[in-house]
Amino acid sequence: MKIAIDVYYDSRKAKAVGVIFNEWESEEPHEIITTLIDQVEDYEPGKFYKRELPCILELLKKVGTDNIDTIIIDGYVYLGDITKAGLGMYLYNSLAGKISIIGVAKTYFHENSAVEVFRGTSKNPLYITSVGVETSEAAMYIRNMHGNFRMPKLLKLLDNETRK
């Protein structure tokens, strides 16, 4: 089972959403889960994980992690080279390295060695980083996800659900 997770913030509150699916080529989610978090940390430049990670972990409590083999996040696993942890690496470590993490970012982070994935007719790539799975393999998974546009259908659905 795979889950793509994103978090939306409103002042001091957050809404974490997970889109669960079974196969990379799935057209529809198996399930969509949501949890509300009443108190979140303030945004701290360079330490985004302090705000987002607790929200993701709260959502994962709701679904459990026993059957999850991959988590997709909106962002980077590592920043710059692989020695500087990003949100995805903090998540991976929080889960004791038992679940692969794939970061899908829409904007380039300077000096990052992410794999660029072009989908559909878009001239703008998605930037893929990963831990627990080779980044080239993670990029192939994202490239092969259902949909004809830059963002795979399930990741676009996640974005829409998160903003509701």
| pTM as predicted | 0.95
How far from chain centre, in Å, is Cα 59? 13
Q: How confident is the model at residue 113 (pLDDT cuts 50, 70, 90)?
A: confident
Quick one: tokens of 131?
């831990």
Quick one: tokens of 156?
């676009």
C-alpha–C-alpha distance, residues 81 and 25, integer Å: 30
User: Rounded mean pLDDT of 89-100?
Assistant: 98
- Residue 4 half-sphere exposure toward CB, CA atoms < 13 A: 29
- In the prediction, which pLDDT does 59 show? 98
- In the prediction, which pLDDT does 112 show? 78
Total domains, the chain: 1
Give the model confidence (pLDDT) of 26-54 as tens digits: 999 999 999 999 999 888 777 888 999 99
| Residue 113, domain extent | 2-163
Quick one: tokens of 50?
């302090």
Residue 57 corresponds to which amino acid? L
- In the prediction, which pLDDT does 133 show? 98
- In the prediction, which pLDDT does 144 show? 97
Please provide residue 163's backbone torsions phi and psi, each rounded to the nearest 5 degrees: -85, -10
Specify the CATH number for the domain of residue 88.
Answer: 3.30.2170.10
